[in-house]
Structure 1
Amino acid sequence: MKLGIISGSHRPDSQSGKVGRYIRHTLLERKLCDDVWFLDLGKDPLPLWEEGVWDADDARWQAILDPLRTALHSCDGFILIAPEWHGMAPAALKNFLLLWTAGGELAHKPGLIVTVSGSIGGSYPVAELRMSGYKNNRLCFIPEHLIVRNVNGVFNEDESDNDQDPHTYHRDRLIYCLELLREYALALRQVRASGKGALDVYPSGM
């Protein structure tokens, strides 16, 4: 079992990246998967989508996408981390989702949405991703999600930096979500193996 984490913040030193590292540690510590692939879009940004993505002869795009394709295909499920900026999911994360279509890199694999807010927000990116984030890439967002509110006081490596009650609540809720994600990842292997989700006939969602 291998799970992928995508931190969608543009900032190289972000709270979303911090949350992603905490999630990676939790997955491995609790033995919920054998390996974790972690992409931090603040540290490793991707170019904005343009039509060269579809051109197999575009050496620039293929050099960028081929290693990512390999990594994504190897994952059984994903955790998408989205800070709430102006009530929206950040452009880097939406751009990432635009890149994957008929290749099936994300298709029929479970996705857990984790949103991040410095205060009491965080709900708008959940709604945005659920509305449109799956359409052509066929990522299957699971019913549960996690909103990490007042993020500065939780999931810190130094326990003394955590506000204990919120940290404990978010930690326990995260474990619940990750255990459920694992079960979906196991179950959806059968869907992919059935061949019924082949993308050659209908490469784009309706």
Structure 2
Amino acid sequence: MKKFKIGVLVGSLRKESFNLKTAKVLMEVAPKSLELELIDISNIPMFNQDLEGTPPEEWTTLREAVKAVDGLIFVTPEYNRSVPAVLKNAIDVGSRPYGKNVWTEKPGAVVSVSTGNISGFGANHHLRQSLAFVNIPTMAQPEAYIGGAADLFDEKGNLKNDSTKKFLTTFMEAFEKWVQTIVK
């Protein structure tokens, strides 16, 4: 069985982030052919084209980490009907300099996680616009909107909702097929 390395980017920096907890569940329920690893985006300096001549080490680290994976999963909260700046910044840094986009043609998926009932719908779709532009073929179905996140985890960060775990397992099985379809 061929193994695929999948990078997971989490758009929330909070220590007790529901997005990070969800990402860890995705790692637990992933099919054996998918090896998921977190790509840390917490310390990436804001993109500034003036720095391209001597890019910050964190930019280079991000770019190399993305180059090393076969696919990507983006787990994002919703801030003001959009994605957090840290996630958008990572996308911008990885897409530059012009002609050296590290994201291109890597299969992707989006999971939005929110404490509210709208489940990060706006962030999910806004993120998909950016991913289309940087040429990440993003899985269309199943869509993943995880709402009511504050009630899904116990005090140790373990998912306590069986239907959510079942959905995330199904999501990862679909993503496995998506990766196999895109990666040649």
Distance across 2 between alignment mates of 1:160 and 1:73? 31
Amino acid at match of 2:47: W
Unaligned runs of 5+ in 2: none
Q: How far does residue 147 in structure 1 lie from its aligned partner after superposition?
A: 0.8
- The residue type equivalent to 2:25 in the other structure is Y
Deviations 1:161-201 (A, max 9, x none): 73xxxx222212211221121222122222xxxxxxxxxxx
CA offset digits 1:140-161 (Å, max 9, x no partner): 1110221111112225585887
2:126 is the alignment partner of 1:132: no
Aligned partner of 2:114 in structure 1 is 117
2-side partners of 1:171 and 1:70: how far apart? 31
Partner of 1:199: none
C-alpha change, 1:23 and 1:52, in structure 2 (3 Å) is: farther
- Corresponding position of 1:12: 15
Aligned residue runs from structure 1 range 8-157, under 5 A: 8-27=11-30, 30-33=31-34, 35-41=35-41, 44-52=42-50, 54-55=52-53, 58=54, 60-61=55-56, 63-101=57-95, 102-121=99-118, 122-135=120-133, 137-144=134-141, 145-156=143-154
Looking at both structures, which has the greater relative contact order when contacts are Cα pairs under 8 Å and sequence separation is at least 6? Answer: 2
- How many angstroms does 1:40 deviate by? 4.1
Aligned partner of 2:169 in structure 1 is 175
Q: Cα RMSD (Å) of the superposition?
A: 2.2
Hey, what does 1:184 align to over in structure 2?
A: 178
Shift of 1:75: 1.0
Counterpart CA distance in 1 for 2:109 and 2:91 is 14
1:26 partner letter? V
> 1:9: how far off?
1.0
Tell me, in whole angstroms, the C-alpha distance in 2 between the residues paired with 1:100 and 1:85. Answer: 21
1:37 is matched by which residue type in structure 2? E
CA distance change for structure 1 residues 94 and 31 in 2, over 3 Å: closer, same or farther? Answer: same
Q: Do the aligned partners of residues 172 and 108 (structure 1) sit closer, same or farther apart at CA in structure 2, a change above 3 Å counting? A: same
Q: Distance in 2 between matches of 1:32 and 1:156?
A: 29
Pairs aligned (count): 176
Unmatched segments (≥5 aa) in structure 1: 191-206
Q: Normalising by structure 1, report the TM-score.
A: 0.76
CA contact (8 A) 1:8 1:40 kept: no
Determine what percentage of the aligned residue pairs are the same residue.
21
Q: What SS does structure 2 have at the residue aligned with 1:134?
A: helix
**1:20 and 1:154 mapped to 2: Cα distance?**
13
Contact 2:109/2:175 (<8 A) preserved: yes
Deviations along 1:72-111, whole A, 9 cap, x unmatched? 1121111101101222211111111111223242211111
